[in-house]
Amino acid sequence: MMDLTTALIGLIIVAMCILPILYFNAAQKKKRKKFLNDFLALAGQQQLKVTQHEVWSNYCAIGIDSESNKLFYFKKRGDKEEQVLLSLLDIDKCRVINTKRTQNEDQIIDRLELGLSFRNQRIPEKTLEFYSKDESMALDMELQLVEKWQKLISAQLEGKRKAAALVS
């Protein structure tokens, strides 16, 4: 009888430890899914068919419509909202902007952004924030995401240049 009681008490303690974690994960997934649906709805309002997208930090999203060559970025933090819609036909270059500092011989990333330079050089470079130490305590997958999107956009730009050269 004692072993059964001990096993039940142990099982209850384990359940009490695991249930909050499961609840937190489910709440995060639900929040991320709602944000993605909001992002896709906003993209739809812009007549975009997002073919590839990414959501991070539960308040930032980026997507590309390969058919119309448009890039859509959305950030919503509290009541502050930023929407950016760019035609890739107007973009010349895409680069990663990694703002970092050295502290005790360690490199600390303060900010990660995509920098988009326009063909018309009179238009200033547009930056899309992927990470800021002022808004997030820790870096998660943002470095990999910003590099992935830099490569994706650069490949899209290169493909358009090659197609234009074949037409000419």
Per-run averaged pLDDT (10 residues), the chain, 168 residues: 76 79 76 85 93 90 94 92 94 94 88 96 96 85 94 89 64
Q: How much is the pLDDT for 120?
A: 94
pTM reported for the whole predicted model: 0.82
Q: What is the DSSP letter of 88?
A: G
Q: How much is the pLDDT for 19?
A: 78
- Name 142's Cβ contacts closer than 8 Å, sequence gap at least 6: 56, 57, 112, 130, 131, 136
Per-residue model confidence as pLDDT tens digits over 73-108: 999 988 899 999 999 999 999 999 999 888 888 888
Where in the sequence is the domain holding 126, given as residue range(s)?
2-167
Task: Count how many domains the chain has.
Answer: 1
Q: Closest Cα partner for 110 from 80, 130, 125, 131?
A: 131
The alpha-helical segments, DSSP class H, found in the chain are 2-45, 142-167
Which of 36-69 are b and which e, b meaning 16 or more Cβ less than 10 Å from the residue's Cβ? beebbebbeeeebebeebbbbbebbbbbbbeeeb
Percent of the chain scoring above 90 in pLDDT: 51
What CA–CA distance (Å, rounded) separates 119 from 89? 8
